Amino acid sequence: MIEAESAQLRMAVVGCGPIGHLHARGILESPGASLVAVCDSDPRRAHEASKALGVKTYSRFQELLRAESIDAVTIATPDDLHVDLALEAVSAGCHVFCEKPLATTRADAERMVEAASARGVRLGVDYNRRFGFGYRHARTLLDAGRVGAVTHAVIHVVDRPARPEVARVPHAILTSLITHHIDLMRFLCGEIVSVHASFGQHERGSLVRDVVLSCQIARGAVGAIVAGYRDGFVRTSERMEIEGTAGSLAVVDVTREVTVALLEPDRFETIRPNSFVEGDAFHETVRTHVRSFVASLVEGREPPVTGLDGLRGMIIAEAALESYQRGRPIEV
Ligand SMILES: NC(=O)c1ccc[n+]([C@@H]2O[C@H](COP(=O)([O-])OP(=O)(O)OC[C@H]3O[C@@H](n4cnc5c(N)ncnc54)[C@H](O)[C@@H]3O)[C@@H](O)[C@H]2O)c1
């Protein structure tokens, strides 16, 4: 059992799957918050969470909100439930940290952002890759001007196929998987201004398994996100390469290494995590993000990744689908 720190912010987690447990741990590791309760509609999951975390459990979120005085919640339920739970939390005056994708449609993401703004509470979305060693360092190197101005970038990602309930939506790869990479393109290279998607061959109405998303980026850069689902794959594998006017960067697998080369490609420097102080576990990125979200609430700042970033992800995903259907780029 983990000891909850005594602190000012009273928090709860909704959805106690693997990701909800990471949220709970992130809260327990935050000096500014205490984990008051968790909620899961599945009694087995609720029981396991109560044993592992040593906090009260509820099976219904509304009951939790009525019974406890909560300042902030994190949402780690299946994607299609984010919107209703977030709106309930916001209407109870809670700040919300929501798993990606913020919602499953642009319209729902807009409702969430508008509701949080109207109620004066913060909304964050878990684009956790921004907290991975590789992408964090890439951002620092880019900000320091090590490779000059970005001219083009490519992300290649392969993952297990989406679960059946997610895969019911044929183009789920856009919202479920590459929503992360759309965010990374924006985070590292600049705002995406237009997109054009091509899908690999697939039967009408069946899951799209391969996609290339071409992006025009503000300030004249271009990007491509190449993604696929592969049966039997055991975890997500990805790589990002960024070319600039003065050199290039390559990021391997979120938490592994960053290689920076200048205009002489044979001379490069590889930066790896310090294994004494930084784990390379992907899961750390979620916990780190939760701690950072809590710190932003305690300090009265905007969350590190905002609801608007989550909404932008949905706008770009929907534009990608439209671009495929119309066979031309769509401005976003
Ligand atoms: N950021 C990342 O890298 C990352 C990685 C994997 C998953 N995710 C996202 O995290 C979320 C959760 O993923 P997971 O793998 O833990 O899912 P999961 O399905 O294993 O767990 C979800 C839990 O929510 C519970 N639940 C369902 N409806 C509920 C309700 N109305 N009230 C309370 N609990 C309810 C389920 O019983 C289940 O225990 C999803 O949105 C997923 O897309 C993010």
Query: What's the 143 CA to ligand 1 centre distance in angstroms?
Result: 34
Integer angstrom CA distances of residue 89 from 60, 72, 143, 310, 314: 12, 8, 36, 17, 21
Q: Per residue in 232-283, pLDDT tens?
A: 999 999 999 999 999 999 999 988 899 999 998 889 999 999 888 777 688 9
pLDDT of residue 278: 76
Which residue is associated with the tokens 């592969």? Answer: 230
pLDDT of residue 202: 84
Closest ligand 1 atom to 60 CA: 32
Closest ligand 1 atom to 45 CA: 39
Ligand 1: residues with CB < 6 A are 14-20, 39-42, 45, 61, 76-79, 81, 99-100, 126, 128, 286
Integer angstrom CA distances of residue 61 from 39, 53, 210, 214, 301: 6, 18, 37, 40, 27
pTM for this model (two decimals) = 0.96
pLDDT of residue 205: 84
49's torsion region: left (phi>0), alpha (psi -120 to 50) or beta? Answer: alpha
Regions of the chain short of the pLDDT cut 70: 1-7, 280
Query: What's the 99 CA to ligand 1 centre distance in angstroms?
Result: 8
pLDDT of residue 11: 98
Mean pLDDT of the chain: 95
pLDDT of residue 261: 95
Q: Per residue in 158-194, pLDDT tens?
A: 999 998 889 899 999 999 999 999 999 999 999 999 9
pLDDT of residue 204: 82
